[in-house]
Amino acid sequence: MQYGYFDNEKREYVIDNVALPCSWTNYLGVEDMAAVINHTAGGYLFYKTPEYHRIIRFRGNGVPMDRPGFYVYIRDNEKKDYHSISWQPVAKDLSKASYRCRHGLSYTVYESEYDGLASSQTMVIPRGENVLLWDVKVKNTTDAVRDLSLFTYMEFSFHHIMIDNQNFQMSLYCAGSSYEDGIIEEDLFYEEKGYQYLTASFTPDGYDCVRDKFLGVYGTEDHPAGLDRAVLSGSTELGGNHCGSLQKNFKLQPGEEARFVIMLGEGNREEGRRIRVKYSDLKRVDAVYTDLAAYWKQKYDALQIKTPNEGMNTLINTWTLYQSEINVMFSRFASFIEVGGRVGLGYRDTAQDAMTIPHSNPDKCRERIEQLLKGLTTTGYGLHLFSPEWFEEKTGEKPFQSPTVIPEPDKQSMIHGIKDACSDDALWLVGAVVEYIKETGDLNFARKEFTYADTYVLGNKVTESVYEHLKRILDFSAEQVGDDGICKGLRADWNDCLNLGGGESAMVSFLHYWALQHFITLAEILGEREDAKHYHQLANKVKA
């Protein structure tokens, strides 16, 4: 069954059969704030970290799937009937309504036609701001005046994913909500400057800040008590579970269209006021789309192909680039599979990602490469999973120890031994470094010095060049071989489900040879003739 198609002109994937068997997700944001959002507006929003600074709550692996999310309900007050623009959560009968999702480059659009109303909801995060805009349009396609109400709904998180999902003894007392001047504010009591807000371009006719008041104790997102009442209760609470629901009553003449902008952001009420003023100007909202289109055009213009195969052109020219950019931006721990419950960098994943787009995002690739260099041990293996912050100089003191902020790890637990090393991890970095230098021409990068993870933690901050880091990686694999001279699999060899326990891995020896070829090219260009000769001999040995 076909659920959608690629629109190559708009560089969108269009889902016109929204009853998918699993989620089709998109990523919004290219800086500090990001949303993982699916084809029915389910998902979550976070600021910098999906584990310790989640802004909205998300229940992964649930039924119905991917709830809650970023919902807009439209209610006909005469008929007492309502629907959601994104199909879910109300989920009107698809034989009586039309729904479509368009995933684009850093934006997603939901479109619906139901009971004479044509509506859309565009989700986007502007560059330079930490706010998610919900750009909503509702048009009356009938010849009768329509008496309508718009309701928003999202559920605030307690920031820390573990507190969201487990520690209710704490979570029910760690946040409060309030409403003033058209702005809902959530206050995280255990954090300095721990605030989020929801506001809109309109003056609300009602609001609810308490989840159980909007939904009802026995209500759900698809049948919330607030929409049955048609009037929100004006709830706030110091404690409990918090939501963002704003109500706007309006009428549409035949053929008339209304436009509203909802704003969900990071910061306190004052920040909400600033953002509300800024994006109540619809020209500034339209400028966000223009800016993001130019941002992505600069990237895909760096490499475009034309082959007889349209599918290959579509894949390479837009979606492989987009996937790679997202991976380099956010690592791989924010999705609907890795739902943000752990953060940091996977060594091999990040090295692979960093070698994909040095042509379109050289600065971010270099940043990731530098983080991996600092996550390498003097023995020559990389830390399989680590946080780059471990190896950065600390600035400033935390005002108080909060249970909801990123914890300081025990230094002794940061560096794992060889028994927990994956034999392929660091070999990928050799290729990433050389591809970066080949693409950018930055030969000086090979001479730049970085610390090693183990000496940094011990306080003996030994530094060596990138070039020397790569030699340690190649030498480590040359030493870690079995009886047949083939590289050992160690804890794993790229297939993490196969823990070889010291058995040999042909795959790693293939990878070792591949990394050696990259390094030999670099050594020759740098004039390191002895090294080029030595590692060429090693490559021949590995090949044999």
Q: Which residues of 351-379 are buried (b: 16+ CB within 10 A; e: fewer)?
A: bbbbbbbbebbeebbbebbbbbbbbbbeb
CA dist., res. 220 & res. 39, Å (int): 20
CA dist., res. 267 & res. 210, Å (int): 19
- CA of 226: how far to CAs of 58, 217, 531, in Å? 21, 11, 72
Extended strands (E) in 237-301:
237-238, 242-252, 257-266
Q: Supply 520's token pair.
A: 């030999």
Neighbours of 418 (CB within 10 A): 15
Residue with tokens 């260099």: 373
Contact between 522 and 442 (Cβ < 8 Å): no
**If DSSP codes are grouped into helix, strand and coil, which group holds residue 146?**
strand
Give the long-range contacts of residues 464-467, CB within 8 A, separation 24 or more: 466/373, 466/433, 467/522, 467/523, 467/526, 467/528
- Per-residue three-class SS string for 66-122: CECECEEEEEECCCCEEEECCCCCCCCCCCCCEEEEEEECCEEEEEEEECCEEEEEE
Contact between 59 and 164 (Cβ < 8 Å): no
By annotation, the residues acting in catalysis are 496
Which one, of 362, 501, 350, lies nearest residue 420 by Cα? 501
CA dist., res. 119 & res. 115, Å (int): 11
The sign of the CA dihedral 63, 68, 74, 77 is positive
DSSP 481: B
Residue with tokens 């880091």: 469
- In DSSP terms, 385 is beta-bridged to 346
DSSP 138: E
Angle, to 10 degrees, between the axis of helix 466-479 and the axis of helix 427-440?
A: 150
- CA of 425: how far to CAs of 93, 290, 350, 372, in Å? 49, 40, 10, 10
CA dist., res. 132 & res. 134, Å (int): 7
Angle, to 10 degrees, between the axis of helix 282-300 and the axis of helix 269-279?
A: 90
